Each structure stands twice: as C-alpha cells, then as structure tokens.
Structure 1
Amino acid sequence: MTDPTAMSYGNRKPHFVLVPFFAQGHMIPMIGLARLLMLQGVAVSVVTTPGNIARCKAIVDRANAAGLLIRFIELRLPCAEVGLSEGCECFDLVPSVELFRNFHEGLSLLREPLLLYLRQQCPKPSCIISDAFTPWTREIARELRVPRFVYHSPSCFFLLCTRNVRKHKSGVDAFERFLVPDFPHEVEVVRAQSSGFFDHPGFEKLRDEVAEAESTADGLVMNSFRELEAAFIDSYQKSLEKKVWAIGPVCLTNKETGDKVTRGNMMNVDENYIKNWLDAKETASVIYVSFGSIASHSASHLIEIGLGLEASKRPFVWVIREKEMRPEVARFLSEGFEERTKGLILRGWAPQVLILSHPSVGGFMTHCGWNSTLEAVSAGVPMLTWAHFFDQFLNEKLVVEILRIGVALKANTSIGYMVDDAEGLITREDVEKAVTELLAGAEAEERRKRAKELAEKAKKSMETGSSCQDLRLMIRHALELADEASDA
C-alpha cells in the first residue's frame, strides 16, 4: 500500500534498481530502503541470487501481503568459478578470511548478466542505488546513462573517521593512539581500529575501485538520521563535495509485529514464546545479548559470558549461533545453567527488533554492528558494547563517547580483529561489572533517558522529519538527473 502522502510523478512510474552486497548486514537495510521507496510510489527491483531470496522469503511475503510488491532480479552467483563452494552466496557463509577476495570477485562477475538484463527492460531504470561494496555497477550506470547513488551501510562517523585517518595518518604505527584529525569531535583512536574496510594488504585494487565508484557517484545514501550524526554527515558531504541523504533508520519501516519477527533470517523458536517470556519480566530489567551474524567466539569466551550473566543476577536473553555451539559450550549449558539462571537462550537466529522493542529489555550487549546499533537507538535501549572488527570499534566510540548511551565491556583495547579462537579477552568479572553498570544506578538512569530521547527523534525523523525529507529529495534529484540524461 502506497503512503497517502507519497510523491506524485505525473504519468510516469519511477523505477529504481537496488544492488546490495550479499551480507545480512547489508541486505536487510537495503530491503528496508526498497520498502521506503515503494511507499513513495516508486517501483523497485532488487538484485539477488537464489540462495539469498530463500533467506529473505519471509520478509518478501510480509511486504507483498502489505501491497508492496518487491521485484527481484535473480542472478546466479558464479561460486565455483572463483573457488567457492556452490551455495556460498552470502558473506557470512564464506568459510575463511582467505576467501573474502574470492567472494568479492564472484560478485563483480554479475556485471555483465545484470547489464544484459537491464538493457532489455522498457522503460529503462530511472536510477541505480548500489552498495559501496559493488563498485562494478559504475560501468552499468554509465552504459545505460542513468544516475547512480552509492548506498553506505556503516555509520557516517566511521566513514568520516577512516577517510581522515587515511588522508592524514598513513605512517602511524598500528597501535599508537592519536586524535582523529579534522574531526567534529575530539576522538582518540588507534590505526588498527580506524582503517577502512579495504585498507589491508591484498585489497588495494578493490579499495581503489570502491573509492573511484564513490567519487564518480551522483550522490550518497546513508542508513542514518541527522539528529544522530549531523556533524559527521555535514563534514563528510563537505569533504566529498557530494550530496549525502540520510534516510534512516530503515529498521523503523518494520512497524508490525510480523515485520519485526521476519526481519532477517528464519528462527527456531516461536515468537509468542519469546514475547510471553518477556511479558513476565519487569520493565527495563532484561539484558539482551547478541553479536550479529558474522562474529564467532571461542568456547571459553562464551562460558565467561554465561558465568558473568549468571553472577549479575539479571534476567537475560542470550543468542548463541549454531556454529558456536561447540561440545564444551553445549556441556556447560546442559549442566544446570539454564535452570540456575533467569535466562532464555536462543540458538540460531533471533527476532532482534521484536526483542529490543519490548518494554522489559533494559540493555543490549552488542558487537556494535551498525544495524544492531540503529535498532537499539530506535528502540531507546542503552548498549553494553564489545566491538570485534571492521567498523564496530568506531561505532562503539560513537555510542559510548559521543552519544553517551553505552558502556564499553573492555575500554581502550587495541586489537584490530577478534578471531573466533581468541582467548582471555574478557572475564566473567568484566561481564558482571558491565551489566550492573549499564542497568543500575543514577548514571544508568541518565543513559536510559538519553537513549529514549534519541528513539523519539529517530521516529519523528522517519515520519515527517529530516529522513523523510531527505528520501523525497533523493528521489526528486534522481528523476531530474534521469530527465537530463534522456534529453542529452
């Protein structure tokens, strides 16, 4: 169903093609963007693969039931041709770091089949919005003579910080602390935690392609909102000399319970069981623990988390991924842990938006992935942060130091990447102390108040405020560019 306040386009129907990077943290918000565009009366096609369509079938069914027909351009990802096993169509399925480049190479081979498909469409697309990790879409947009926007999945705080560090601090030791240069706030970092996604040996070609695709784009789209990151959005826009539209948090498109349940993958537990469990708990008493779809932990770290949660004497919902359920972990859980504690353990995928939006949830122990961070912000839930890799370290800085709605589990660490067999980084005492600090006392109350205020700003931004306005300005700009190209 189109929003009754949607834009009017006369006799034509705009058609936007969205090209996500095939990772859960990128595809989920891209589907959210598709919904936002469709509510504005725009026809949307999303590029995907058979395996990824199967993963998001529940989201698609919910959208279709609401009258939002998501069209998919289903292409075959050439896994075997780049040394990946068949079916390895999503980034979290890549078995090792050594194969990350193979996955990116396979994705780039979609350029020709996608171009062939779009050439056959009549009328041609009005605009392409492609993930920053798919720089090969630049040639497609150029050949079709349609505008192209780059969609960024991380925070603008991260993008600006890494850009400035790359520009001014290239020779700094990986673990030397320094203030981020030319930055709106005083933030101290180490280079190991403030590098861009592809600022690593072996990824130089992809890094340059991503930078070139951004510099030649017709604009940038962010899953953020101005009331959260205004200073960083303005600085990034000025640095790149390109228009930046902040159109999020897109997780707020999931307003109905069914949407919140199906956002992401399929789960193993009935949502009513989870809801009834949460209903029985006091307001803001539960700590929710989840570290996303990619991070994986050693058995010792999981056991320390469990013992710390038990020592905190707080009710908790703890998500443990299936591949983390090693024999030592399964044994620990089976030896009376669930019976002794006030906890609910979910194995596999969990309906995170549904859980965070429940009044009984008072804190979120998170890896600080940007989707999880925005979901917590949108729900007004303070965070207990434990960053693991990539943009998570800088998102943690934003949450704890700038927004002041979080507590760091391990402050001032310098690791650049936490491998899943890492040992001794956290203890049960760290967990117990951080949970108590997050949930109890006067500072916790102030933190909760700030989180609730941000949640209200997020909702207003999406309904009638800055994000709603930026979405419409972005659509209008795309159509103006498309008209100019067709007249040329």
Structure 2
Amino acid sequence: MAVNTQESSKPLEIIVIPYITPGHLVPLSEIACLFASRQEQVIIITTTEKAPVVENTIKHCKASAHSISVHAIPFPYKEVGLPDGFRLEHAKDMETASKYYHGLGLMQSAMQEFMRTRSPDCIIADKFFPWTSAFAETLNIPRIVFDPCFMFRKALQDALLNPNSPHLTVKSDYEPFVITDLPHPITLTRSKLPANTYAMLLKLQREAELKSYGVVINSMSELESEYSEYYANKLDCKVFHVGPASLIHENVDSKVDRSHNSVVSKEQVLSWLDSKNRNSVLYISFGSVCELHDEQLMEIACALESSNCDFIWVVRGKTNKDDDSTWQPKDFNINGKGMILKGWAPQLLILQHPSTGAFLTHCGSNSVLEAVIEGVPLVTWPLIADQFCNEMLVTQVLGIGVEVGAEDWRFFSDLDRKIIKREEIEKAVRMVMDGGDVVQEMRKKTKELGDKAISAVKTGGSSHQNLTNLIHELKQMRDKCVWH
C-alpha cells in the first residue's frame, strides 16, 4: 500500500499497556520502541514495580532521543491481600494468581483517568486487558490488540471452536486427533489444550479483539503467512506482523541490559562460550514463569550427565543458598562442561553465539522467535499457555525442532504433571546435538527463517512496511476523525 505523503506530519500519541509477565511486558515495550523510532510519541502504562524493567528495555531507544516514556501506577497489594512487591511469576496456585489479576482490574480506573487527560490517538493494549476495547470506543479512538502468541495458535484456537471439532468426540484426553481445517493437518491430544477456566478467558479476549481495529504480532509474516491469512479472512480481522521487535537490540550491551538484570556478566558468558566448539552447547531455559520441581530437575541433570554435552542451564526458583543435592545427582560434575544460572540469563547473547547448538525450551513464543532469529534448532518441552501450540508450529509445520514428549497442559508447571524421564530427555537432546542429516536440515531451515526475520525489520522488509502501513492508517483515521 502506498503511503500518502500529504497526510499530517503531526506525530501520533500512542498509549501502550503491556501485561505484567515478562513474556508480554518485554516484547510490547520493544514494539513501543518501534513506534517511537518512527517519531511517534509513546507512553507506556505499567505498575510501579514493573517500571524499571520497562525502563531497561527502552533505555537505548530513549538514549536516541525518541519520544517514549513510562507512566507508573501503584499496584493495590493491600486491597487484594498480597505482600508488597509480589510478582505474578511468584504465584503457585490459582487463588494467588486470581488475586493478582483482580488487582490489575482495580487499576483500571486509574489507567482510564490518565488516558482521558492525555487524549491519545490510539491505544495498543495486551490481550489480557479486553476492557480497553470498550474504553477506546468512549474516546472515539482505535484500540490495537497486542498478542504475544503466534498467529498459528490463534488460528488453531479458532478451529477448535468448530462444533464438529474432533477433540469433542475422542474417548480419551490422550487419544490423538487431527485438525484438518488449517493449512496443514495438525495432530494433537485434548491433554495439550488449555483448562476450561483459561479457555473462557481466551473467549473473552477474542470477543474484545473482534471489536478492535486489528492485531499487532511480534513476528514476521514469512514465518506463518498461511495462518495469518486464514485468521484474517475467517474473522475479517486486520493482522500486522511488525517483529521480531527484539532486533532493536543491535549491540552486546543492549542485549544484556534488555529487561531484567542478568545474574551473570556478559564477559563470563562470552568467555565460557568462546572456549567451546561450534554448535556444541545446549542452552536450557523454561522461561520466566515455569518452575519445575526437584524430581524433574533431577531427571534433566541425569540426562545431561549421560549425554555428555556442554550446556548452559537456567534453573528458575533456586538460589545459591539452596541444597543442590535435592535436584542434582551425587558427584554431578559441571566443571568445564556446564554453567548453571539461578536467575535471569542474557538469552539473546547466548543464542547468537556460534557455540550454541540447540535450545531446550518451554516453547514460549518469545523464546521460539529468538531461537529462530539466530538459526538455533529446538528441543521442545511445553508446559502452559500457548506453549503446546508453539511446539506444534515448530515440529509439525516448520520442522525445526524435536519433542521431548510433554503431554499435559497445566495452569502451574509443578501441578500433577507427568515426569519426563531422563531417557526421553537424553534421546531428544542427542538427536539435536549429534548433528546427523535430520538436524542439518533443521539447521538449514532455521537459518533460512532467521535470515527472513532480519530482512523483515529492515527498511523495505515486510515487518517494516506493515508498521509503516499501520501508522499511516492510524493517522488517516485521526486526521479524518473516523473510527467506527
């Protein structure tokens, strides 16, 4: 679409409202930087506790004198019965998570009051804030939905709403069935689908999304164009692929400083990786929310010992004061072979290093995308949220990963979950790390996708053009005072 150069040069004022878990907060903050780098004015609303994370993410954008800022609102801890500073990532059960979600609901009036004082031209809000669709209508401005999921997940979710979907007729949660309505036949089981409570939340989000102007997605159209077209055509919905937004971090410092503070310095990580052979290191991380219990950690440790590969393992929920013997085999020797990080890791830095040969991942959408950018094949181990769908995209559509064998969707990663045995873990790890013909083909496919991702965000690339088109459409609506 050609952009009208005669349109108003006045910058848009855009309010951005990210959800507060890192997998939502960081990519939308990075997308906010994309708008600011186009000389639009951006204000990000978040909680007081999350403001430093956002500030870290946008630091280099602000340093370039772009108009981007943070408006922090205190979280009502006392009102919902949570201790000060509590993070949703700390929740171990549904009752605690519900308290936090209720607290975000109590912040709604303060967010609305602030937006009324600003009179923005557009609201870009995470899907977990469906109320922003109706509120944007009261301001007579468009709301854009940010969904950190891939379009593949959204298309699959829509296909499962079909009253004739085969998942409604299988006799067991573990009986495989095939969805044939999509561009590719997708095999799954009911055990990999969200719990009913979560599914209802997704339904509310979808209804609010259909009242919005469109959806902004943190990936490039080349990754899943067939699914974007399927979804856009079926739901008459505008889809704007504008990512991968993490590519705004162009140098080492920017990649390390991104979001949370790392528990290890860039010098330590790079020095260790530099000492390893190309494609010899397995990187292991289950993201910022998922926490595995000791029995499962022990199986991973034993598998690493048996496979004898070098590794960097991010272990969430452990500190240096904990007794490691509860989750490591006796005489577990990591000297020279492994690096265990108990806290936040510089993931972008690790994935881009030539020594990193594979990524054992929970299949969070950001982790998958970051691996794709760097051409790193995956060992897939989904746990919650959209992660099983992402595994299907990686293994059944893109062909760039190997499954460990996870079967059960659970709200919380340590709740009544089947233990994946060391033999299964070792088998999947060896398959990806030992470098046979199948893995070489995976590396080739992943590298091709990574090259497309980098090209997409460059001037003239698909994501760059999609962002240009979206800004143009928003300015047209503003200048003509047209919405609805």
**Contact 2:376 2:443 (C-alpha < 8 Å) held by counterparts:** yes
* Structure 2: segments with no counterpart, 5+ residues: none
Matched pairs, number? 475
The correspondence of residues 31-46 of structure 1 with structure 2, limited to 5 A, is 31-46=29-44
Whole-angstrom distance in 2 between the partners of 1:348 and 1:152: 26
Query: Which residues in structure 2 correspond to 1:31-430 (within 5 Å)?
Result: 31-88=29-86, 90-121=87-118, 124-168=119-163, 169=165, 171-172=168-169, 174-195=173-194, 200-201=196-197, 204=200, 206-323=201-318, 327=322, 329-330=324-325, 336-339=331-334, 342-410=337-405, 413-416=407-410, 419-420=413-414, 422=416, 425-430=419-424
SS across alignment from 2:288 = coil
Q: Deviations over 1:213-272 (max 9, x none)?
A: 111001111112111000100001012101111111111111111121122311221111
Q: Distance in 2 between matches of 1:53 and 1:78?
A: 15
Residues 1:315 and 1:260: Cα distance change in structure 2 (over 3 Å): same
Q: Cα deviation per residue 1:18-40 (whole Å; 9 max; x = unaligned)?
A: 11111110001011101111111
- Amino acid of the structure 1 residue aligned with 2:21: A
Distance 1:133 1:98 in 2: 18
Aligned-pair CA distance for 1:98: 2.2
| Counterpart residue number, 2:25 | 27
1:475 matches 2:484 = no
State the Cα distance separating 1:212 from its structure 2 match: 2.3
**Aligned CA distance change for structure 1 residues 326 and 231 (closer, same or farther; 3 Å):** farther
Q: 3-state DSSP class of the match of 1:51?
A: coil
Q: What is the CA–CA distance in structure 1 between the aligned matches of 2:319 and 2:385, rounded to whole Å?
A: 20
Amino acid at match of 2:160: V
| Mean Cα deviation higher: 93-102 or 275-284 | 93-102
Alpha-carbon distance change, 57 to 392 in structure 1, aligned in 2, over 3 angstroms: same
- Measured after TM superposition, the shift of residue 320 of structure 1 is 0.9
- Which of 439, 442, 450 is the matching residue for 1:444? 439
Task: Name the aligned partner's letter for residue 420 of structure 1.
Answer: D
* Displacement after TM superposition at 1:460 (Å): 0.6
2:13 and 2:122 in contact (8 A); partners too: yes
Cα distance, 1:162 vs structure 2: 1.1
Q: What per-residue deviation string (whole Å, max 9, x for no partner) do you get for residues 409-430 of structure 1?
A: 116x355556316576222222
Question: Which amino acid letter does the alignment assign opposite residue 298 of structure 1?
Answer: H
Q: Describe the superposition over 1:111-151 as per-residue Cα deviations: whole angstroms up to 9, x where unpaired.
A: 22122112222xx2111111111011123211211111111
Which segment drifts farther, 345-354 or 47-56? 47-56
Deviations 1:148-178 (A, max 9, x none): 1111111111111011102333744544422
Contact (CA 8 Å) 2:8, 2:479: kept in 1 or not?
A: no
Distance 1:137 1:423 in 2: 35
Give the Cα separation in 2 of the matches to 1:358 and 1:310: 23
Please give the per-residue CA displacement for 1:341-361, whole angstroms capped at 9, x wherever unaligned.
611111100000110011110
Code of the aligned partner of 1:232: Y
| Structure-2 change in CA distance of 1:214 and 1:73 (3 Å) | same
Deviation (angstroms), 1:322: 3.3
Q: Secondary structure at the match of 1:389?
A: coil
SS in 2 for 1:322: coil
Q: Is the 8 A contact 2:297 2:327 kept in 1?
A: no
**What RMSD over aligned residues (CA atoms) do the two structures have, in Å?**
2.5
Range with bigger deviation, 365-374 or 335-344: 335-344
1:225–1:249: 8 Å Cα contact kept in structure 2?
A: yes
Q: Distance in 2 between matches of 1:97 and 1:163?
A: 25
Distance 1:18 1:154 in 2: 18
Question: In the TM superposition, what whole-angstrom CA distance separates every residue of 1:38-86 from its partner, at most 9, and x where no partner exists?
Answer: 1111111111111001334432433322333431121122233233333
Matched residue SS, 2:161: helix
1:190, 1:414 within 8 Å by CA — same for their partners in 2?
no
> Residues 259-291 of structure 1, C-alpha deviation per residue, up to 9 Å, x if partnerless?
211223112211111011111111111110111
Confirm or deny: 8 A CA contact 2:15 2:115 kept in the other structure. no
Unaligned runs of 5+ in 1: none
Give the residue type in structure 1 aligned to 2:423: E
Give the TM-score, by structure 2 length. 0.91
